[in-house]
Structure formats: C-alpha cells, structure tokens
Amino acid sequence: MAEDADPARRSIGARRNPDSAGAILEAAEAVLVEAGYSGFSIEAVARRARAGKPTIYRWWPSKAALLLEVYKRQKRVDIPDTGRLEEDLVGFLQNLFKHWRETSSGSIFRSLIAEAQSDETASAALAEYALGRPSHTVQIVERARQRGEVAEGVDSAPVADLISSYAWRHLLTNRLDQDEQSIRKAVGYVLRGIAAPGN
C-alpha cells in the first residue's frame, strides 16, 4: 500500500508539503471533535487525512507534538497593549482564561499537561513548546521594560513563569471563571512583591 493514498498529498520528504500538513491538521481537529482526547490516535488521523503514518511521524514525532500544533492552530488570544504592565497582564490573563473556557483548545492543553506528568514524549513535546518561542508574557514584560516600568536587572523569564504558573494552575483545576479583581490581585503580588516595607 502506498504511503499516501491520495497522490495530491504525497510526501515530499522531511520538508512539509503544505497541502498534506493542512489536511493532517484538519483531520486531527475532526478526530478530536468526534472522539475526544482519550480517543485521539495517529491511526485515526492517518485514516481521515488519507495519509501514511510515517508521513505524520516524520513531521510530528509524537501524538503530543501533533496535538500541540493543533492547540497552537486553534489558539486565538488577544495581547493587550495599554501602555501599562499591570493592565496588559490582567487583560492577557482574562483573554487567555476566556479562550480556554470557551474553546476546545483549553481541554487539549489541560490534557497534555496532565499526560506530561507520566509520559516522556508528552513531557518533551510540552517542554519544546514552552521553550520554542518567547512567551506572550515575556513579550509583555519586555515591552514594559522598554517603557521604563521594569527595574534594571529584572529577568523577565521568572516573572513570566510566575504568571504562567498561575494560569496553568487554574486551567488544571478548571477554575477559569476568575473575576478581574482576583486576577488583578495575583498580578499585583507578582509585580509589587510581598515583602513588608523596609525588608
């Protein structure tokens, strides 16, 4: 049996064929809708996309890697630019929680984080995703640094980790209905610290 049943979607080697890749991602989204995360498999995606499993694994080394690309493809979160760091972070978290709450991608990401605790391939895919590009939070902090809102010597990466940890904890515990006041309080603690005056 040929690797790709449809000649129009034949592999062109390690470099992705955009038509084939698009068909595979669309198939992956459809399988998720029909079977959910627990019923998702590379075999089901290959059948639906009329593509060979070797082609899929050539471009996505694991099921988790494919799911993360589906997540990125679905992710639509507005990044505020209000001119103030606190407002930008609060607005970003509100938009992120809304996206996770109202779309299937939140469920995908939550399941991937949970699976990564016991599956090395999922853990590696998640780590690559997290390290593969500057996070939105890092970009927000760096933008504030250019405005003079962030002190010299502050490393934006740990600040972003603190904000991300807050977001991921609420995703994992399905508490995405936080009101603005609660989000603003958490952001305020991060930005101002918790040390008493003079300490």
Task: Indicate the pLDDT class of residue 70, thresholds 50, 70 and 90.
Answer: very high
Q: Is residue 1 part of a domain?
A: no
Are 146 and 171 members of one domain? Answer: yes
Distance CA 67, CA 61 (A): 11
The pair phi, psi for residue 187, each rounded to 5°, is -65, -40
What's the burial of 158, exposed, middle or buried (CB within 10 Å: 0-12/13-18/19+)? exposed
Whole-number pLDDT of residue 176? 95
Tokens of 67: 């799911």
Expressed as residue numbers, the domain containing 93 is: 76-192
Q: Is 132 helix (H, G, I), strand (E, B) or coil?
A: coil
Residue 41: CATH number of its domain: 1.10.10.60
Residues 135, 178, single domain; the answer is yes
Which of 55, 99, 93, 109 is CA-nearest to residue 76? Answer: 99
Residue 196 pLDDT grade (very low, low, confident, very high; cuts 50, 70, 90): low
What is the tally of structural domains in the chain?
A: 2
> Is residue 65 included in any domain, yes or no?
no
pTM (2 d.p.): 0.80
Tell me the percentage of the chain whose pLDDT exceeds 90.
67
Using one digit for the tens of pLDDT, what is the confidence trace for 167-178? 999 999 999 999
Which element (helix H / strand E) includes 5?
none
